[in-house]
Amino acid sequence: MAVPVTIGVPNVLVSEWTKLRSLRSTYWTAIVAVIVAVGIAILGCTSFVRHFAPSDLDGFDAANFSVQGLYAAQILLGALGVLTITGEYATGMIRTTLTSVPQRRSMLLMKGAVFAAAALALGEIASFGAFAVGQAILHGKGAGVSLADHNVLRVVIGGGLYIAVVGLLAFGLGALVRRTAGALATFFAVLFLPSALIDLLPSSWHDTVMKYAPANAGTQILNIQHQHNMLTAWNGLGVLALYAAAIIGLAVYLIGRRDA
């Protein structure tokens, strides 16, 4: 039997891909994420068209309007990211994983890479699906835009990127916290608490927190126009990616030190 001399990156990537695709929960989460993104586009755009008045077009961001469902889909991507790693701790699979691949830090990075690829593919399907369906409805009133219009492609591609990065942030939190409930709670806190608690903060912090809170920074990519007092589209997504990278980096450091 031809066997490699040592465990290689391809071995671990293939193994992690098998793990991801062999769980029904992966498919359910993925399907529901796309249904939510496209469904909200249908509901929102249909309602817009039905109650349409020409004045509605003033400052209307048709691209952004059609991908509003990504705000809901990001929660599903987050749950998938958390479960990808906490599912191993909850079931005991982690012991099999770590005895098969004792290079823990590489293993976690490979697992994250496989999840990132899957999350990006899923995110783009959800984003492009929602955009296509939404614009088809909006075109009825001449309110639609096309991918060739200014910044539209950036919004649609960025929408998939955004929820993939949110998924990665959740993956990092899952690896850090290791328990499903705790990791999900932390994920929701990171995503939603800054805007919920903004009024409790001193007003001098107000602008900075609004600007750099993970969700606020990341979602700038979904706007055609730059928003006042907010980061630019790509800088915002970059800041969100830095949060995700920092959390994953900490998790990678700790997995080598902690008992499994």
Which chain residues interact with another protein by CB under 8 A? Answer: 1, 3-8, 11-12, 14-16, 18-19, 22-25, 87-88, 91-93, 95-103, 257, 259-260
Cα–Cα dist 257/259, whole Å: 7
| Least distance to another protein, CB of residue 260, Å | 4
153 SS3 class: helix
Cα–Cα dist 19/197, whole Å: 38
| Least distance to another protein, CB of residue 179, Å | 16
| Least distance to another protein, CB of residue 77, Å | 19
| Least distance to another protein, CB of residue 185, Å | 22
Please say which residue, 12 or 62, places its beta carbon nearer to another protein.
Answer: 12
Burial of 59 (0-12, 13-18, 19+ CB in 10 A): exposed
Cα–Cα dist 17/28, whole Å: 16
| Least distance to another protein, CB of residue 250, Å | 18
Please say which residue, 80 or 230, places its beta carbon nearer to another protein.
Answer: 80
Please say which residue, 103 or 235, places its beta carbon nearer to another protein.
Answer: 103
259 SS3 class: coil
Cα–Cα dist 160/125, whole Å: 7
Please say which residue, 8 or 56, places its beta carbon nearer to another protein.
Answer: 8
Cα–Cα dist 95/89, whole Å: 8
Q: Which residues contact 125 (CB under 8 A, 6 or more apart)?
A: 34, 160
Please say which residue, 3 or 148, places its beta carbon nearer to another protein.
Answer: 3
The enclosing H or E element of 122 equals helix 104-138
Q: What's phi and psi for 189, nearest 5 deg?
A: -60, -45
DSSP 227: P
Please say which residue, 6 or 204, places its beta carbon nearer to another protein.
Answer: 6
| Least distance to another protein, CB of residue 114, Å | 11
